[in-house]
Amino acid sequence: MAALIDSYDTALFDLDGVIYLGPEAVPGAVPALAALRDRGTAVMYVTNNAARPAQVVIDQLTALGIAADHSSVLTSAQVAAAALAAEWPRGTKALVAGSANLAALLGGAGFQIVEGADDHPAVVVQGYDPDLSWRRLDEATLAIQSGARWYATNSDASRPTDRGLVPGVGGAIAVIATALGQQPVVFGKPHLPMLREAVARSGAQRPIFVGDRLDTDISGALLAGMDSLLVLSGAHGKFDLAASREVHPTSIGRDVGALLLPPRLAQCAGDDARCGAQRATVVDGQVQLAAHPADEQGQLDALWAVLQLVWADAGIDARGALESLELLP
C-alpha cells in the first residue's frame, strides 16, 4: 500500500518535539529522514526558535546523522530580519529583546542596533532568548510606549525539551502585552510569512507540514492551505486534539515515521466511526471503543476514529475512551 508521503513532493518539519528533544533525536526520526531522502522527497526544517543561528541548527542535525544545510533550514529570526529589511530603510534603529543571533541578523540586514528606549528606536523586535532579562523587557516596553513598532519572531507559549515543557517566547510577549494592552506583529508559525517563505525556498508544489503543536504548526498549515501531520512526540497529545474545535490535522502519527506508513483513513456514519480495524461508537453521549487495541498503531487508529466523532459533535464525552489509549501521550 502507498505511504502517506507519496501524495506530497515536500515535507516541511518543525524541529523541537518533532526531530529532536533538547540534544537528543526523537526516536525513529533519523531513519525516517534517511528513508525520505532515499525516496527523493524534498525536506525543509522550519523552526520558530529564533535564539540559535541556522548554522547551529545545521550542526545539531548533522551530529544526529541528519543531512542539512542552509538551503534546508529556515528560522523565524531569518524570516523576521528579511521582512523588516524590506519594510524599513537601512540605518533604522532597532531595540532587540531577544538573542544575539536575532540582533546579528537584524544588524546584517541594515538596522542600527540600540540598547534602550532612550536611544529612540523605531522598532522593537522580540524573540526567544534563554538569558532575557527583566530590564530588557522594561526597555522594550518603554520604547513601544514612545512609539516604536513592536514585532516578534514568533509567539510559541512553550518549548518541548528532553526534560519536559518550558516557557517559550510567548511568555515574554505576554509580559509586555499585559502592561500595554496590545500585541506585536508576528512572523513565525502560524503566521503566513514563515510558511510562504518555506514554500518559496523549497519549491514545494504539494507540501505537507509535520509538527507537534496545534497552535503553531497545524494552525499555520491550515492558514497556508497545506495538509499536515501532527506527531505525538512533542507538545500536544490526544487530549489536546480532542479539545481542539477548529484546528485539525490531516493525519496523526506517533512520530515522523508515520510519513512512510499508509495514510490513516476513517469512515464515519452517524454515531459510528472506523479506522483500520478499530471502531468507535457514541452510546448515550459517550464514546465507546469496540475493542481495546494492544499495540500503538492500533491505538492510533482508535484515536483517529474517536477524533472524527468528537470533532463532529463537541458535546459528546470521549475522556474514558481517550484514557484507555494508555500507549499514547
Q: Please confirm, yes or no, whether 119 is among the known catalytic residues.
A: no
Q: Which of 6, 9, 16, 227 is catalytic?
A: 16
Q: Please confirm, yes or no, whether 14 is among the known catalytic residues.
A: yes
Return the half-sphere exposure (C-beta side, CA atoms, 13 A cut-off) of residue 68: 25
Helix boundaries (H) for the chain: 29-39, 54-63, 76-87, 100-108, 134-145, 169-180, 192-202, 219-224, 238-243, 296-312, 319-324
Q: Which residues pair with residue 160 across a beta bridge?
A: 165
Grid cell locating 145: 510606549
* Residue 136 DSSP class: H
> Which are the contacts of 97, defined by CB distance < 8 A and separation ≥ 6?
124, 125, 126, 127, 129, 132, 136, 137, 139, 140, 172
Grid cell locating 231: 506527531
Q: Which of 14, 212, 217, 255 is catalytic?
A: 14
Q: How far apart are CA 113 and CA 126, in angstroms?
A: 13
Go through 136-166 and write b for each residue having 16 or more CB atoms within 10 A of its CB, e for each that does not: bbbbbbbbbeeebbbbbbbbbbbbbbeeeee
Short-list 39, 34, 30, CA closest to 4: 39
Short-list 118, 81, 72, 73, CA closest to 99: 81
Distances in Å between the Cα of 245 and the Cα atoms of 98, 281, 312 are 33, 19, 9
* DSSP-assigned letters across all residues of 294-323: -SHHHHHHHHHHHHHHHHH-TTSB-HHHHH
Residues annotated as catalytic are 14, 16
